[in-house]
Each structure stands twice: as structure tokens, then as C-alpha cells.
Amino acid sequence: MAVPHLIRRGVSGGSPLHPLRGLLFASQEFGQRSLSSETGDAAAQLKGAREEVKQLLKATSCHPILVRLGWHDSGTYDKNITEWPKCGGANGSLRFEIELKHGANAGLVNALKLIQPIKDKYSGVTYADLFQLSSATAIEEAGGPKIPMVYGRVDVAAPEQCPPEGRLPAAGPPSPAEHLREVFYRMGLNDKEIVALSGAHTLGRARPERSGWGKPETKYTKNGPGAPGGQSWTSQWLKFDNSYFKDVKERRDEDLLVLPTDAVLFEDSSFKFYAEKYAVDQDAFFSDYAEAHAKLSNLGAKFDPPKGFSLN
């Protein structure tokens, strides 16, 4: 996304992939189970999964790709389609090969592989919930705000229920502001939320072999952590803060990435109001980001129980 171009970030650690076919078969088997009808049992499983995600983050520094995973599952939502799951959104469809092969999802099979053991251990947790849990936990563990999450999302059951390709943002469209609004307005998000969510670029790197953007490596990425290389938006690309807005505004470091959809945040008058604010007020950014992230994570979701439930 530009959701954030977390859209095209690579994994920052983890073991080599097992064959994709075996992974996808496991995904389909477990993905057809929904949460226990007893909220207490479901919450206990989710809490266990959250602790496992925290350990995974410590071991692999995979924060960026887990954020991207959650965003790309929910970011296919179309507010103009009322039927579930045709509307897209946070429904676990990204576990299927057909959607993983969408151009904007390059490399996300790595994220699925990382969290599959957690899914296997806590089989009562849906993929839709696990994707969003992992994304929010990654933000929080990187030093970001606590996201007011709700759980109980239901998974789609088959690859035929995946959304069509082309609903996720591009990194370098001809008219960046127009493109961002077209994509995010379709999801029901506004200009403030577009800018706040763009701030998640404070995490991660772009890899030219996957996205066509960024340098092969920089002084900030040549030694990892995780697989070395790529170009980051910020110098401390595993720390969630407001550095992204400061760095995009100043553009003083050629080793830091600025995409057309980043630069336009300080060029478009409506976007600029929020970008300037976040560059000097991290508390305001954190508050608006947490609200926008939570909203994004609920797009298109069907909940069981109908209003979902929260974790402590």
C-alpha cells in the first residue's frame, strides 16, 4: 500500500522456504476452521499466538513483512461491493496461491511460511485473525502505538473466493495523489488515514528485484538484519516512529528511499497538512496511525461473534 509499499517489502529474516505446494495444502486445510464459539477459548488461542508472534519477531526481525501481510489481506476491500466475500478485505484469502501470485504480493509467501507453524499450533485461530494480529503486534513491538484491535474474523474457504488482481496500490503511478485517493477511497479511507498509514514506511525496505524500486543495498541495509540489501525509507528501519515524515520532507540522504507516492504527501495540499503535522508531532501521528490501522484491519471482515471481541 503504498499500503505502504509495505506492498513490496521482503522478509528480514527466517529460514529457507519449504516447497510452496505443501504450505498451501496446509493453509487450505486449516483455513477452513473458524474460531471456537466460546469467546474465552478463542481469546486464549489468540493470546498464545500473539506470544509466538512476539518470539518470531525477536528471532527474525520480520516486522515489516508481517505488517505488509496484514495490510495486503485487508487492502483489497471495495466498499462498493456489499456481498461477502466478493467485497474483499480481511478474510484470510491471501493464503491461497492465486492471490499470493498477484504482482503486489511478491515475496509474501515468505511471511506465510514464517507464521504457518503458529497457525498449526493454534488451529482455532483463523488466518484472517492471525494476519491482522501479526501486523498489529509487529507495529507495537517495533515501538509503535498500541492498536485497538478486534478479533473473530471468519476465513474464506476456497481460492475461488479470492479478490481479483489490481486492488492494491502501486508505488509509482503517473498521478500519485489521484492514485492513492482512488485506491484508499475505494476502501472507505480518507486523506488523513492515507497519510497516517503511509507513515508505516518507517519500517522495512524496498527490493528492486521484487518491486523495481530502490537500490540493491545501502549503508543502512548492507548488513541486514536478516537478508542484506534493499533500500529503506529510514535509517532505523526496524523502529516505528515519525522518522519517515522527517526524512521524506528533508530528502537529504540519497541512501533513503522516496517513492512518488511518498513525495506527494508533501506536495498535495490536503496530504501536506497531515504530513507536516506528523513530522513534528509524533504523538499525533501515533494516535492517528493506531486508529487508521485498526480501521484498515477490519475492512471487509465478517466476525464471529458478530461484533468481534478484544484481547487484554
pLDDT band at 295 (very low <50, low <70, confident <90, very high): very high
What positions carry a catalytic annotation? 72
Q: Is 165 exposed, middle or buried (0-12, 13-18, 19+ CB in 10 A)?
A: middle
Q: Where are the alpha helices (DSSP H) in the chain?
A: 20-31, 39-60, 63-74, 97-100, 108-121, 127-141, 176-187, 191-198, 208-211, 243-250, 260-263, 269-280, 282-298
Q: How far apart are CA 82 and CA 287, in angstroms?
A: 30
Domain ranges in the chain are 37-167, 176-292
pLDDT band at 280 (very low <50, low <70, confident <90, very high): very high
What pLDDT score was predicted for residue 3? 43
pLDDT tens digits for range 151-170: 999 999 999 999 999 999 98
Q: Which residue has the higher pLDDT, 38 or 290?
A: 290
What pLDDT score was predicted for residue 312? 76
What pLDDT score was predicted for residue 38? 61
Q: Are 189 and 278 in contact (CB under 8 A)?
A: no
What pLDDT score was predicted for residue 227? 86
Lowest mean pLDDT among 91-95, 205-209, 267-271: 205-209
Q: How far apart are CA 227 and CA 25, in angstroms?
A: 27
Q: Are 195 and 278 in contact (CB under 8 A)?
A: yes
pLDDT tens digits for range 49-62: 999 999 999 999 99
pLDDT band at 1 (very low <50, low <70, confident <90, very high): very low
- Lookup: cell for 116: 504457518
Q: How far apart are CA 63 and CA 10, in angstroms?
A: 10
Helix (H, G, I), strand (E, B) or coil at 193: helix
| Domain 176-292, classified CATH 1.10.420.10, yes or no | yes
Q: Are 223 and 237 in contact (CB under 8 A)?
A: no
Residue 10, pLDDT above cutoff 50: no
232: part of which helix (H) or strand (E)?
Answer: strand 231-232
Domain 37-167: top CATH class: mainly alpha
Half-sphere exposure of residue 193: CA atoms within 13 angstroms, side-chain side: 19
β-partners of residue 271 are none
pLDDT band at 8 (very low <50, low <70, confident <90, very high): very low
What pLDDT score was predicted for residue 26? 37
- Lookup: cell for 248: 521524506
Q: How far apart are CA 10 and CA 28, in angstroms?
A: 24
**pLDDT (mean) for 270-275:** 98
- Lookup: cell for 142: 517495533
DSSP 8-state assignment for residue 206:
E
Amino acid at site 154: V
pLDDT band at 11 (very low <50, low <70, confident <90, very high): very low
